[in-house]
Amino acid sequence: MKTVGIVGVGLIGGSFGLALRKAGYSGTILGVSSRRSLDEALERGAIDRGATLEDAAAASDLLFLSQPISGILKTLRVLDALVRPETLVTDAGSTKRAIVEEAARSLRRCVFLGGHPMAGKELRGAAAADADLFRGRPWILTSTPDHPVAAELRKWIGLFGAREIILDAAQHDRLAAWSSHLPQLASTALASLLHDRAPDAATVAGPGLIDSTRLAMSSFDLWRDILETNQTEIAAALDAYIEKLRALKADFETEFDKGSAFARSLRERR
């Protein structure tokens, strides 16, 4: 691939550009983003130059959509008229079903490969981009298309030090609901409850409360699209969590034993 187009050059998009460069990619990297994001990305060396979506789509062998989910959905709706048939379009959205379905509907002229690099940090924007952001982290792909650019993308993902995992969109969204969306909501609910009922808890807060409320610092902005596009799985996980809290009240020992077994196995497998 001679040209890569990154659409949405924030933390993930900027880190993708930096990771490509660090891994030895020598082609051209175009960025499609706001003026401010492009300036930050240029300063970090994450892209070679800014471009319009039209120009980037026409020029790129690989298009990497790293906007928020709602932005990716909008881009997919207009992209078909702009791309070359040999281009591979992939993405970095945090839910996969809505995006893969929109791509199947809207993107007829080229191949789409859903992706989700499971990486991030508290800072946002290309200014915080990091060539090692994906190192050691899962990178979900929703299929393994027989396509030369897809093969090359998978090679780069490996060179970034990420762990490629193949999951279809429904499997991804179900697993993400349990392993990522539910922990977020459990933390948000805990922090919101303490806000209402024990604002003085801060005077005695220990490291446990700090750990338990770290996810709650996330703003709704980052979560609106995820909650919107994974509603069914998230509602099921929340209902099951409420049921589990009731079961815990009835039998602490059983739930402590299962909980500590899971928490330990999680750490052993990493």
Whole-angstrom distance, CA of residue 254 vs CA of residue 258:
6
Residues 130-189 close enough to bind its own copies by CB under 8 A: 137-138, 140, 165, 174-176, 178-180, 182-189
Whole-angstrom distance, CA of residue 94 vs CA of residue 248:
31
Whole-angstrom distance, CA of residue 180 vs CA of residue 232:
15
Report the residue number, 35 or 270, with the smaller CB distance to its own copies: 270
The answer to whether residue 70 forms part of the interface with its own copies (CB under 8 A) is no
Report the residue number, 81 or 204, with the smaller CB distance to its own copies: 204
Report the residue number, 82 or 169, with the smaller CB distance to its own copies: 169
Report the residue number, 44 or 181, with the smaller CB distance to its own copies: 181
Whole-angstrom distance, CA of residue 247 vs CA of residue 249:
5
Which residues make beta-bridge pairs with 89?
A: 63, 112
Report the residue number, 71 or 138, with the smaller CB distance to its own copies: 138
CA 84 vs CA 69, 133, 175: distances in Å: 23, 30, 34
Q: Residue 205: how many CB atoms within 10 A of its CB?
A: 13
The answer to whether residue 68 forms part of the interface with its own copies (CB under 8 A) is no
Residues 6+ apart with CB under 8 A from 78: 53
Whole-angstrom distance, CA of residue 114 vs CA of residue 91:
6
Instruction: State the nearest-atom distance from the C-beta of 200 to its own copies, in Å.
Output: 7
- Choice from 78, 104, 123, 242 touching its own copies (CB under 8 A): 242
Q: Residue 69: how many CB atoms within 10 A of its CB?
A: 23
Report the residue number, 58 or 248, with the smaller CB distance to its own copies: 248
What binding mask, one character per residue, do residues 207-236 give for its own copies by CB under 8 A, x or -? -xxxxxxxxxxxxx--xx--x-------x-
Instruction: State the nearest-atom distance from the C-beta of 154 to its own copies, in Å.
Output: 17
Residues 6+ apart with CB under 8 A from 179: none
The answer to whether residue 78 forms part of the interface with its own copies (CB under 8 A) is no
Q: Per the structure block, which two tokens stand in for 255?
A: 């739930």
- Choice from 78, 104, 151, 193 touching its own copies (CB under 8 A): 193
Phi, psi (5° rounding) for residue 3? Answer: -135, 135
Q: Which stretch binds its own copies (CB under 8 A): 9-17, 42-50, 51-59, 237-245?
A: 237-245
Report the residue number, 125 or 183, with the smaller CB distance to its own copies: 183
Q: Which stretch binds its own copies (CB under 8 A): 8-16, 61-69, 146-154, 247-255?
A: 247-255
Whole-angstrom distance, CA of residue 181 vs CA of residue 175:
9
Q: Which stretch binds its own copies (CB under 8 A): 47-55, 85-93, 143-151, 246-254?
A: 246-254
Residues 13-32 close enough to bind its own copies by CB under 8 A: none
Q: Residue 207: how many CB atoms within 10 A of its CB?
A: 7
- Choice from 26, 35, 81, 197 touching its own copies (CB under 8 A): 197
Q: How many chain residues interact with its own copies (CB under 8 A)?
A: 82
Sign of CA dihedral 155, 121, 12, 179: positive
